[in-house]
Amino acid sequence: MSFPKGFYWGGATAANQCEGAWNVDGRGPALTDVTTGGSVKEPRYVTYIDKDGNPQKMPSMGAKLPEGAKYAVLDDCYYPNQDGIDFYHRYKEDIALFAEMGFNMFRMSISWSRLYPQGDELEPNPKGIEFYRNVFKECKKYNIEPLVTIHHFDTPLYLEEHYGGWKNRKLIEFYDRFAKTCFTEYKGLVKYWLTFNEINNTVMFLDMFGNKATDQMYQEAYQHLHYQFVASAHAVKMAHEIDPDYVVGCMICGITFYPATCDPADILLNRHTWEKGIYYCGDVQCKGKYPTFAKRLWAEHDVHLDITEQDLIDLKEGTVDLYTFSYYMSTVVTTHEVTDKVSGNFSAGARNPYLEYSDWGWALDPKGLRYYLEKIYDRYELPMMVVENGLGAYDTLEEDGTIHDPYRIDYMRKHIQDMELAIEDGVDLIAYTPWGCIDLVSAGTGEMRKRYGFIYVDKDDAGNGTFDRYRKDSFYWYKKVIASNGADLD
Protein backbone atom coordinates (compact mmCIF):
# COMPACT_ATOMS: atom_id res chain seq x y z
CA MET A 1 0.00 0.00 0.00
CA SER A 2 1.11 3.55 -0.57
CA PHE A 3 -0.35 6.99 -1.00
CA PRO A 4 -1.24 8.58 -4.34
CA LYS A 5 1.57 10.31 -6.21
CA GLY A 6 1.76 13.98 -5.29
CA PHE A 7 0.14 13.44 -1.89
CA TYR A 8 0.80 16.38 0.42
CA TRP A 9 2.64 15.56 3.65
CA GLY A 10 3.22 18.35 6.13
CA GLY A 11 2.17 19.86 9.39
CA ALA A 12 -0.15 22.53 10.77
CA THR A 13 0.04 25.59 13.02
CA ALA A 14 -1.98 28.72 13.76
CA ALA A 15 -0.68 32.27 14.06
CA ASN A 16 -2.05 32.98 17.54
CA GLN A 17 -0.52 29.79 18.96
CA CYS A 18 2.96 30.10 17.51
CA GLU A 19 3.91 33.56 16.24
CA GLY A 20 4.20 35.47 19.51
CA ALA A 21 5.31 39.08 18.80
CA TRP A 22 1.78 40.07 19.77
CA ASN A 23 2.50 43.80 19.85
CA VAL A 24 5.40 43.99 17.40
CA ASP A 25 5.48 45.86 14.05
CA GLY A 26 2.03 47.34 14.42
CA ARG A 27 0.10 44.16 15.25
CA GLY A 28 -3.11 44.76 17.22
CA PRO A 29 -4.28 42.47 20.03
CA ALA A 30 -6.60 39.48 19.62
CA LEU A 31 -8.74 37.79 22.26
CA THR A 32 -6.05 35.15 22.76
CA ASP A 33 -3.67 37.91 23.97
CA VAL A 34 -5.87 38.56 27.00
CA THR A 35 -6.41 34.85 27.71
CA THR A 36 -4.38 33.24 30.50
CA GLY A 37 -2.95 29.72 30.56
CA GLY A 38 -4.94 26.90 32.16
CA SER A 39 -4.65 23.14 32.47
CA VAL A 40 -6.71 19.99 32.01
CA LYS A 41 -8.43 20.83 35.34
CA GLU A 42 -8.29 24.64 35.45
CA PRO A 43 -9.93 26.71 32.68
CA ARG A 44 -8.23 29.49 30.78
CA TYR A 45 -9.45 32.97 31.76
CA VAL A 46 -10.08 36.12 29.76
CA THR A 47 -9.04 39.20 31.74
CA TYR A 48 -10.70 42.63 31.80
CA ILE A 49 -11.32 45.75 33.83
CA ASP A 50 -14.93 46.07 34.92
CA LYS A 51 -16.98 49.26 34.71
CA ASP A 52 -15.83 50.26 38.22
CA GLY A 53 -12.15 49.89 37.29
CA ASN A 54 -11.51 46.54 39.02
CA PRO A 55 -9.37 43.84 37.39
CA GLN A 56 -11.46 40.72 36.70
CA LYS A 57 -11.31 37.39 34.91
CA MET A 58 -13.90 35.04 33.41
CA PRO A 59 -13.58 31.49 31.99
CA SER A 60 -12.68 31.81 28.31
CA MET A 61 -15.15 29.17 27.02
CA GLY A 62 -18.30 31.11 26.19
CA ALA A 63 -16.86 34.32 27.66
CA LYS A 64 -19.05 37.42 27.32
CA LEU A 65 -17.70 40.83 28.30
CA PRO A 66 -19.96 42.46 30.93
CA GLU A 67 -21.54 45.86 30.20
CA GLY A 68 -19.07 48.73 30.48
CA ALA A 69 -16.01 46.45 30.87
CA LYS A 70 -12.83 46.59 28.76
CA TYR A 71 -10.48 43.72 27.93
CA ALA A 72 -7.15 44.23 29.68
CA VAL A 73 -3.72 42.71 30.17
CA LEU A 74 -3.21 42.35 33.94
CA ASP A 75 0.22 42.60 35.58
CA ASP A 76 -0.04 39.42 37.64
CA CYS A 77 -1.14 37.15 34.78
CA TYR A 78 0.84 35.26 32.16
CA TYR A 79 -0.58 35.13 28.64
CA PRO A 80 1.05 32.25 26.75
CA ASN A 81 -0.12 33.30 23.28
CA GLN A 82 1.58 36.68 23.54
CA ASP A 83 5.00 35.14 23.01
CA GLY A 84 3.83 31.80 21.50
CA ILE A 85 6.96 29.99 20.36
CA ASP A 86 8.31 33.14 18.71
CA PHE A 87 7.74 31.82 15.19
CA TYR A 88 7.65 35.49 14.15
CA HIS A 89 11.39 35.73 14.62
CA ARG A 90 12.35 32.09 14.08
CA TYR A 91 10.30 31.12 11.03
CA LYS A 92 13.38 30.57 8.85
CA GLU A 93 14.81 28.03 11.27
CA ASP A 94 11.41 26.34 11.64
CA ILE A 95 10.71 26.11 7.92
CA ALA A 96 14.21 24.69 7.37
CA LEU A 97 13.36 21.96 9.90
CA PHE A 98 10.07 21.25 8.11
CA ALA A 99 12.00 20.99 4.85
CA GLU A 100 14.46 18.61 6.49
CA MET A 101 11.54 16.31 7.32
CA GLY A 102 10.48 16.51 3.68
CA PHE A 103 7.28 18.57 4.06
CA ASN A 104 5.67 19.56 0.78
CA MET A 105 2.84 21.40 2.57
CA PHE A 106 2.74 23.70 5.58
CA ARG A 107 -0.55 24.79 7.09
CA MET A 108 -0.42 28.13 8.87
CA SER A 109 -2.78 31.02 9.45
CA ILE A 110 -2.63 34.75 8.96
CA SER A 111 -3.19 36.85 12.05
CA TRP A 112 -6.01 39.22 11.13
CA SER A 113 -4.79 41.88 13.58
CA ARG A 114 -1.28 41.76 12.10
CA LEU A 115 -2.77 42.84 8.76
CA TYR A 116 -5.56 44.99 10.17
CA PRO A 117 -4.66 45.87 13.78
CA GLN A 118 -8.20 46.96 14.70
CA GLY A 119 -9.96 45.05 11.96
CA ASP A 120 -12.01 47.95 10.58
CA GLU A 121 -9.25 49.97 8.86
CA LEU A 122 -9.37 50.57 5.12
CA GLU A 123 -5.66 49.96 4.51
CA PRO A 124 -3.54 47.06 5.79
CA ASN A 125 -0.41 47.28 7.92
CA PRO A 126 2.57 47.06 5.48
CA LYS A 127 4.76 45.32 8.08
CA GLY A 128 2.18 42.58 8.46
CA ILE A 129 1.90 42.11 4.70
CA GLU A 130 5.66 41.87 4.44
CA PHE A 131 5.96 39.28 7.20
CA TYR A 132 3.69 36.76 5.53
CA ARG A 133 5.23 37.42 2.12
CA ASN A 134 8.60 36.51 3.61
CA VAL A 135 7.19 33.36 5.20
CA PHE A 136 5.60 32.22 1.92
CA LYS A 137 8.81 32.93 0.02
CA GLU A 138 10.73 30.89 2.54
CA CYS A 139 8.31 27.99 1.98
CA LYS A 140 8.69 28.27 -1.80
CA LYS A 141 12.45 28.10 -1.41
CA TYR A 142 11.99 24.51 -0.22
CA ASN A 143 9.04 23.67 -2.53
CA ILE A 144 6.68 23.66 0.41
CA GLU A 145 3.12 24.57 -0.58
CA PRO A 146 1.51 26.84 2.02
CA LEU A 147 -2.02 25.96 3.10
CA VAL A 148 -3.35 29.15 4.60
CA THR A 149 -6.18 29.52 7.10
CA ILE A 150 -7.55 33.03 6.86
CA HIS A 151 -9.27 32.97 10.26
CA HIS A 152 -8.05 30.72 13.04
CA PHE A 153 -9.61 31.70 16.40
CA ASP A 154 -8.25 35.27 16.32
CA THR A 155 -10.73 38.00 15.52
CA PRO A 156 -9.08 41.35 16.40
CA LEU A 157 -9.90 42.37 19.97
CA TYR A 158 -11.10 45.76 18.80
CA LEU A 159 -13.84 44.12 16.73
CA GLU A 160 -14.88 42.03 19.73
CA GLU A 161 -15.05 45.07 21.98
CA HIS A 162 -16.47 47.72 19.66
CA TYR A 163 -18.70 45.67 17.37
CA GLY A 164 -19.59 42.68 19.56
CA GLY A 165 -17.62 40.29 17.33
CA TRP A 166 -19.39 37.95 14.91
CA LYS A 167 -22.82 38.77 16.30
CA ASN A 168 -22.55 41.85 14.11
CA ARG A 169 -23.19 41.73 10.35
CA LYS A 170 -20.50 44.41 9.92
CA LEU A 171 -17.89 41.73 10.54
CA ILE A 172 -18.62 40.27 7.09
CA GLU A 173 -17.47 43.49 5.46
CA PHE A 174 -14.28 43.62 7.54
CA TYR A 175 -13.50 39.96 6.87
CA ASP A 176 -14.14 40.47 3.13
CA ARG A 177 -11.54 43.23 3.06
CA PHE A 178 -9.05 41.13 5.02
CA ALA A 179 -9.56 38.10 2.75
CA LYS A 180 -9.31 40.20 -0.41
CA THR A 181 -6.02 41.62 0.80
CA CYS A 182 -4.68 38.10 1.36
CA PHE A 183 -5.78 36.91 -2.09
CA THR A 184 -4.29 39.90 -3.94
CA GLU A 185 -1.08 40.31 -1.94
CA TYR A 186 -0.08 36.65 -2.01
CA LYS A 187 -1.13 35.74 -5.54
CA GLY A 188 1.47 33.42 -6.98
CA LEU A 189 2.80 32.45 -3.56
CA VAL A 190 -0.21 30.56 -2.17
CA LYS A 191 -2.65 28.20 -3.86
CA TYR A 192 -4.67 26.60 -1.04
CA TRP A 193 -6.84 28.64 1.36
CA LEU A 194 -9.20 27.75 4.21
CA THR A 195 -11.79 30.34 5.19
CA PHE A 196 -12.50 29.61 8.90
CA ASN A 197 -10.87 27.14 11.25
CA GLU A 198 -13.25 24.63 12.86
CA ILE A 199 -16.22 26.79 11.98
CA ASN A 200 -18.66 24.30 13.54
CA ASN A 201 -17.30 24.75 17.08
CA THR A 202 -19.40 27.82 17.65
CA VAL A 203 -22.58 25.78 17.98
CA MET A 204 -21.18 22.32 18.72
CA PHE A 205 -19.45 23.28 21.95
CA LEU A 206 -22.63 24.74 23.47
CA ASP A 207 -23.89 21.20 24.01
CA MET A 208 -21.04 20.76 26.49
CA PHE A 209 -22.86 23.18 28.83
CA GLY A 210 -25.90 20.87 28.94
CA ASN A 211 -28.98 22.67 30.26
CA LYS A 212 -26.89 25.70 31.18
CA ALA A 213 -26.68 26.74 27.52
CA THR A 214 -29.60 29.12 27.09
CA ASP A 215 -31.66 29.73 23.97
CA GLN A 216 -30.04 33.16 23.78
CA MET A 217 -26.60 31.51 23.58
CA TYR A 218 -27.82 29.34 20.68
CA GLN A 219 -29.43 32.35 19.01
CA GLU A 220 -26.10 34.22 19.08
CA ALA A 221 -24.08 31.19 18.02
CA TYR A 222 -26.27 30.38 15.00
CA GLN A 223 -26.29 34.03 13.96
CA HIS A 224 -22.52 34.24 14.35
CA LEU A 225 -22.25 31.14 12.16
CA HIS A 226 -24.54 32.54 9.50
CA TYR A 227 -22.40 35.66 9.15
CA GLN A 228 -19.29 33.49 8.91
CA PHE A 229 -20.95 31.32 6.23
CA VAL A 230 -21.68 34.43 4.18
CA ALA A 231 -18.15 35.78 4.71
CA SER A 232 -16.74 32.39 3.71
CA ALA A 233 -18.87 32.30 0.54
CA HIS A 234 -17.74 35.81 -0.38
CA ALA A 235 -14.14 34.74 0.11
CA VAL A 236 -14.51 31.70 -2.16
CA LYS A 237 -16.04 33.83 -4.92
CA MET A 238 -13.42 36.54 -4.57
CA ALA A 239 -10.59 34.03 -4.55
CA HIS A 240 -11.76 32.47 -7.82
CA GLU A 241 -12.12 35.89 -9.44
CA ILE A 242 -8.65 36.99 -8.34
CA ASP A 243 -6.93 33.77 -9.35
CA PRO A 244 -8.82 30.89 -11.00
CA ASP A 245 -6.11 28.53 -9.73
CA TYR A 246 -6.95 29.23 -6.11
CA VAL A 247 -8.42 26.27 -4.26
CA VAL A 248 -10.53 27.17 -1.21
CA GLY A 249 -11.74 24.82 1.48
CA CYS A 250 -13.94 24.72 4.53
CA MET A 251 -12.41 23.50 7.78
CA ILE A 252 -14.58 21.49 10.14
CA CYS A 253 -13.81 20.19 13.62
CA GLY A 254 -14.20 16.51 12.77
CA ILE A 255 -15.53 14.37 15.58
CA THR A 256 -16.81 10.87 14.89
CA PHE A 257 -19.96 10.28 16.94
CA TYR A 258 -21.09 6.78 17.92
CA PRO A 259 -24.33 5.72 19.62
CA ALA A 260 -23.72 4.03 22.99
CA THR A 261 -26.41 1.39 22.45
CA CYS A 262 -28.71 0.04 19.75
CA ASP A 263 -31.67 1.64 21.49
CA PRO A 264 -33.42 3.40 18.58
CA ALA A 265 -33.49 6.56 20.68
CA ASP A 266 -29.66 6.47 20.79
CA ILE A 267 -29.45 5.80 17.05
CA LEU A 268 -31.66 8.79 16.32
CA LEU A 269 -29.77 11.00 18.76
CA ASN A 270 -26.53 10.00 17.08
CA ARG A 271 -27.91 10.95 13.68
CA HIS A 272 -29.08 14.30 15.01
CA THR A 273 -25.70 14.91 16.66
CA TRP A 274 -23.96 14.41 13.30
CA GLU A 275 -26.43 16.81 11.73
CA LYS A 276 -25.96 19.52 14.31
CA GLY A 277 -22.24 19.11 14.92
CA ILE A 278 -20.87 18.17 11.52
CA TYR A 279 -23.34 18.38 8.59
CA TYR A 280 -24.93 21.72 9.41
CA CYS A 281 -21.77 23.63 8.50
CA GLY A 282 -20.50 21.19 5.89
CA ASP A 283 -23.80 21.30 3.99
CA VAL A 284 -23.93 25.10 3.87
CA GLN A 285 -20.31 25.41 2.78
CA CYS A 286 -20.22 22.47 0.35
CA LYS A 287 -23.78 22.47 -1.00
CA GLY A 288 -24.46 26.21 -0.76
CA LYS A 289 -27.73 25.99 1.14
CA TYR A 290 -29.09 25.21 4.56
CA PRO A 291 -30.08 21.55 5.01
CA THR A 292 -33.70 20.63 5.67
CA PHE A 293 -32.94 19.73 9.29
CA ALA A 294 -31.78 23.31 9.98
CA LYS A 295 -35.38 24.33 10.73
CA ARG A 296 -35.59 21.67 13.44
CA LEU A 297 -32.28 22.76 14.96
CA TRP A 298 -33.38 26.40 15.10
CA ALA A 299 -36.79 25.52 16.52
CA GLU A 300 -35.18 23.49 19.33
CA HIS A 301 -33.81 26.74 20.74
CA ASP A 302 -36.31 29.25 19.38
CA VAL A 303 -33.66 30.68 17.07
CA HIS A 304 -34.64 33.35 14.52
CA LEU A 305 -31.92 34.41 12.15
CA ASP A 306 -31.13 37.51 10.17
CA ILE A 307 -30.78 35.92 6.71
CA THR A 308 -31.32 38.04 3.61
CA GLU A 309 -32.25 36.94 0.08
CA GLN A 310 -28.83 38.12 -1.05
CA ASP A 311 -27.16 35.96 1.63
CA LEU A 312 -28.85 32.89 0.18
CA ILE A 313 -27.63 33.76 -3.31
CA ASP A 314 -24.11 34.34 -1.97
CA LEU A 315 -24.09 30.98 -0.18
CA LYS A 316 -25.05 29.28 -3.42
CA GLU A 317 -22.36 31.05 -5.41
CA GLY A 318 -19.59 30.53 -2.86
CA THR A 319 -19.38 26.79 -2.32
CA VAL A 320 -15.95 25.46 -1.39
CA ASP A 321 -13.63 23.42 -3.61
CA LEU A 322 -12.50 21.02 -0.94
CA TYR A 323 -13.46 19.64 2.45
CA THR A 324 -10.82 19.84 5.14
CA PHE A 325 -11.12 18.87 8.79
CA SER A 326 -9.32 18.23 12.03
CA TYR A 327 -9.55 14.79 13.57
CA TYR A 328 -8.34 13.83 17.01
CA MET A 329 -11.01 11.65 18.58
CA SER A 330 -14.47 10.11 18.60
CA THR A 331 -17.28 10.63 21.09
CA VAL A 332 -20.15 8.48 22.33
CA VAL A 333 -23.69 9.85 22.58
CA THR A 334 -26.63 8.36 24.43
CA THR A 335 -30.07 9.14 25.78
CA HIS A 336 -29.31 6.98 28.81
CA GLU A 337 -27.69 8.16 32.00
CA VAL A 338 -23.94 8.68 31.67
CA THR A 339 -21.88 7.81 34.71
CA ASP A 340 -18.46 8.20 33.12
CA LYS A 341 -18.31 11.41 31.13
CA VAL A 342 -15.36 12.48 28.99
CA SER A 343 -14.76 15.63 27.01
CA GLY A 344 -12.26 17.06 24.58
CA ASN A 345 -11.98 19.26 21.52
CA PHE A 346 -15.29 21.09 21.93
CA SER A 347 -17.41 18.00 22.55
CA ALA A 348 -18.45 15.79 25.45
CA GLY A 349 -19.96 12.33 25.77
CA ALA A 350 -19.74 8.94 27.45
CA ARG A 351 -16.49 7.02 27.85
CA ASN A 352 -15.99 4.36 25.16
CA PRO A 353 -14.93 1.10 26.86
CA TYR A 354 -13.28 -0.11 23.64
CA LEU A 355 -10.83 2.80 23.41
CA GLU A 356 -7.85 4.20 25.28
CA TYR A 357 -7.65 7.87 26.25
CA SER A 358 -4.85 10.44 26.19
CA ASP A 359 -3.65 12.19 29.34
CA TRP A 360 -6.05 14.99 28.42
CA GLY A 361 -8.98 12.59 28.14
CA TRP A 362 -9.21 12.52 24.32
CA ALA A 363 -10.24 9.13 22.85
CA LEU A 364 -7.59 7.46 20.70
CA ASP A 365 -9.50 6.12 17.73
CA PRO A 366 -7.81 5.75 14.32
CA LYS A 367 -10.76 3.78 12.92
CA GLY A 368 -12.89 6.80 13.70
CA LEU A 369 -10.79 8.74 11.19
CA ARG A 370 -11.47 6.19 8.46
CA TYR A 371 -15.16 6.22 9.36
CA TYR A 372 -15.26 10.02 9.14
CA LEU A 373 -13.41 10.14 5.81
CA GLU A 374 -15.68 7.57 4.18
CA LYS A 375 -18.89 9.06 5.55
CA ILE A 376 -18.06 12.59 4.53
CA TYR A 377 -16.64 11.74 1.11
CA ASP A 378 -19.84 9.89 0.36
CA ARG A 379 -21.84 13.01 1.23
CA TYR A 380 -19.94 15.69 -0.70
CA GLU A 381 -17.58 13.90 -3.11
CA LEU A 382 -15.05 16.71 -2.77
CA PRO A 383 -11.29 16.24 -2.39
CA MET A 384 -10.44 16.01 1.29
CA MET A 385 -7.55 17.00 3.52
CA VAL A 386 -6.85 15.95 7.09
CA VAL A 387 -5.44 19.29 8.23
CA GLU A 388 -5.09 18.49 11.94
CA ASN A 389 -4.46 15.24 13.79
CA GLY A 390 -2.07 14.23 16.52
CA LEU A 391 -1.44 13.31 20.11
CA GLY A 392 -1.09 15.98 22.78
CA ALA A 393 1.31 14.36 25.25
CA TYR A 394 3.96 15.06 27.90
CA ASP A 395 7.48 14.87 26.45
CA THR A 396 10.81 14.79 28.24
CA LEU A 397 13.85 16.59 26.93
CA GLU A 398 16.77 14.33 27.87
CA GLU A 399 20.12 15.75 28.89
CA ASP A 400 21.62 14.84 25.54
CA GLY A 401 18.94 16.83 23.70
CA THR A 402 16.92 13.81 22.53
CA ILE A 403 13.17 13.29 23.03
CA HIS A 404 11.79 9.77 22.90
CA ASP A 405 8.13 9.83 21.89
CA PRO A 406 7.10 6.30 20.78
CA TYR A 407 3.50 7.03 21.88
CA ARG A 408 3.24 9.76 19.25
CA ILE A 409 4.71 7.55 16.53
CA ASP A 410 2.29 4.80 17.44
CA TYR A 411 -0.69 7.18 17.31
CA MET A 412 0.27 8.58 13.93
CA ARG A 413 1.17 5.25 12.40
CA LYS A 414 -2.30 3.91 13.15
CA HIS A 415 -4.03 7.01 11.82
CA ILE A 416 -1.99 6.93 8.62
CA GLN A 417 -2.86 3.25 8.15
CA ASP A 418 -6.54 4.06 8.43
CA MET A 419 -6.18 6.95 5.99
CA GLU A 420 -4.67 4.50 3.51
CA LEU A 421 -7.64 2.17 3.93
CA ALA A 422 -10.02 5.05 3.30
CA ILE A 423 -8.10 5.93 0.13
CA GLU A 424 -8.36 2.30 -0.99
CA ASP A 425 -12.09 2.59 -0.42
CA GLY A 426 -12.15 5.44 -2.92
CA VAL A 427 -11.85 8.56 -0.76
CA ASP A 428 -10.06 11.35 -2.62
CA LEU A 429 -7.73 12.29 0.23
CA ILE A 430 -4.98 14.62 -0.95
CA ALA A 431 -3.17 15.90 2.14
CA TYR A 432 -2.20 15.18 5.72
CA THR A 433 -0.93 18.03 7.89
CA PRO A 434 -0.79 16.85 11.51
CA TRP A 435 -1.34 19.46 14.18
CA GLY A 436 1.38 21.34 15.98
CA CYS A 437 4.18 19.89 13.86
CA ILE A 438 6.32 22.06 16.09
CA ASP A 439 5.27 22.34 19.76
CA LEU A 440 3.08 25.37 20.33
CA VAL A 441 0.60 26.83 22.81
CA SER A 442 -2.46 24.62 23.32
CA ALA A 443 -5.69 26.30 22.22
CA GLY A 444 -7.80 24.53 24.80
CA THR A 445 -5.62 24.79 27.88
CA GLY A 446 -2.94 27.34 27.00
CA GLU A 447 -0.30 24.86 28.08
CA MET A 448 3.06 24.24 26.45
CA ARG A 449 3.44 20.84 28.09
CA LYS A 450 0.57 19.49 25.98
CA ARG A 451 2.90 18.85 23.08
CA TYR A 452 2.03 17.63 19.59
CA GLY A 453 5.22 18.36 17.67
CA PHE A 454 7.90 16.47 15.83
CA ILE A 455 10.03 19.38 17.02
CA TYR A 456 10.39 20.14 20.71
CA VAL A 457 10.40 23.78 21.81
CA ASP A 458 12.13 24.60 25.08
CA LYS A 459 9.45 26.70 26.73
CA ASP A 460 7.36 25.87 29.80
CA ASP A 461 3.86 26.83 30.92
CA ALA A 462 5.12 29.95 32.68
CA GLY A 463 6.99 31.16 29.59
CA ASN A 464 10.46 30.15 30.83
CA GLY A 465 12.99 28.48 28.55
CA THR A 466 15.44 29.15 25.74
CA PHE A 467 12.83 28.63 22.99
CA ASP A 468 15.45 26.45 21.29
CA ARG A 469 14.24 23.71 18.94
CA TYR A 470 15.10 19.97 19.24
CA ARG A 471 14.28 17.05 16.95
CA LYS A 472 12.16 14.33 18.61
CA ASP A 473 12.33 10.64 17.62
CA SER A 474 9.07 11.22 15.73
CA PHE A 475 10.90 13.80 13.60
CA TYR A 476 13.12 11.09 12.07
CA TRP A 477 10.20 8.68 11.83
CA TYR A 478 7.99 11.16 9.94
CA LYS A 479 10.89 11.98 7.63
CA LYS A 480 10.99 8.29 6.64
CA VAL A 481 7.22 8.18 6.20
CA ILE A 482 7.33 11.16 3.85
CA ALA A 483 10.35 9.90 1.91
CA SER A 484 8.53 6.62 1.24
CA ASN A 485 5.20 8.39 0.50
CA GLY A 486 3.60 6.58 3.41
CA ALA A 487 4.91 3.10 2.57
CA ASP A 488 7.42 2.87 5.42
CA LEU A 489 5.60 3.27 8.71
CA ASP A 490 7.97 1.19 10.89
Closest CB 461 distance from ligand BG6, rounded Å: 13
Nearest distance, CB of residue 441 and ligand BG6, angstroms: 8
- Among 309, 276, 305, 307, residue whose Cα is nearest residue 293: 276
Find the shortest distance in angstroms from Cβ 217 to ligand BG6.
20
Catalytic residue IDs = 198, 388
Q: Which is nearer to ligand BG6, 289 or 341 (CB)?
A: 341
Give whichever of 185 and 365 is closer to ligand BG6, judged by the CB atom: 365
CA distance 286 to 323: 8
Query: Which residue lies nearer to ligand BG6 by CB, 129 or 393?
Result: 393
CB 238, CB 182: distance < 8 Å = no
Distance of closest approach, residue 251 Cβ to ligand BG6, in angstroms: 8
- Residue 484, classified by CB atoms within 10 Å of its CB into exposed (0-12), middle (13-18) or buried (19+), is middle
Residue 225 or 315 with smaller CB distance to ligand BG6: 225
Q: How far is the CB of 345 from ligand BG6 (least distance, A)?
A: 5
Residue 237, judged by CB atoms within 10 A of its CB (0-12, 13-18, 19+), counts as middle
CB of 11 to ligand BG6, least distance (A): 13
Using the minimum distance from each CB to ligand BG6, give the nearer residue, 177 or 472: 472
**C-beta of 318 vs 444, nearer to ligand BG6:** 444
Determine contact, residues 15/154, Cβ cutoff 8 Å. Answer: yes
Q: Which is nearer to ligand BG6, 223 or 345 (CB)?
A: 345
Q: Which residue is nearest to ligand BG6 (CB)?
A: 444
Name, in order, each residue with C-beta under 8 angstroms of 364's C-beta and a sequence gap of 6 or more: 329, 355, 356, 357, 358, 391, 411
112 contact partners, CB below 8 Å, separation of at least 6:
30, 119, 150, 151, 154, 155, 156, 178
Q: Of the two residues 35 and 345, which places its CB atom closer to ligand BG6 in the complex?
A: 345
Work out the number of other CB atoms within 10 angstroms of the CB of residue 168.
Answer: 17
| Alpha-carbon gap, residue 468 to 485, rounded angstroms | 29
| Largest Cα span, the chain | 65
**Cβ atoms < 10 Å from Cβ of 133:** 13
Least distance CB 200 / ligand BG6 (angstroms): 11
How far apart, in Å, are the Cα atoms of 192 and each of 8, 26, 144, 239? 12, 27, 12, 10
Closest distance of CB 4 from ligand BG6, Å? 26
Q: Is-contact 280 203, C-beta < 8 A?
A: yes
Residue 165 vs 392, nearer CB to ligand BG6: 392
Residues lying near ligand BG6 in the complex (CB under 6 A):
14, 17, 197-198, 253, 326, 345, 388, 392, 435, 442-445, 450
Torsion of CA 218, 221, 222, 223, to 10 degrees: 120
Minimum Å gap between C-beta 396 and ligand BG6 is 19
Rama region for 125: left / alpha / beta (φ>0; ψ in -120 to 50; rest): beta
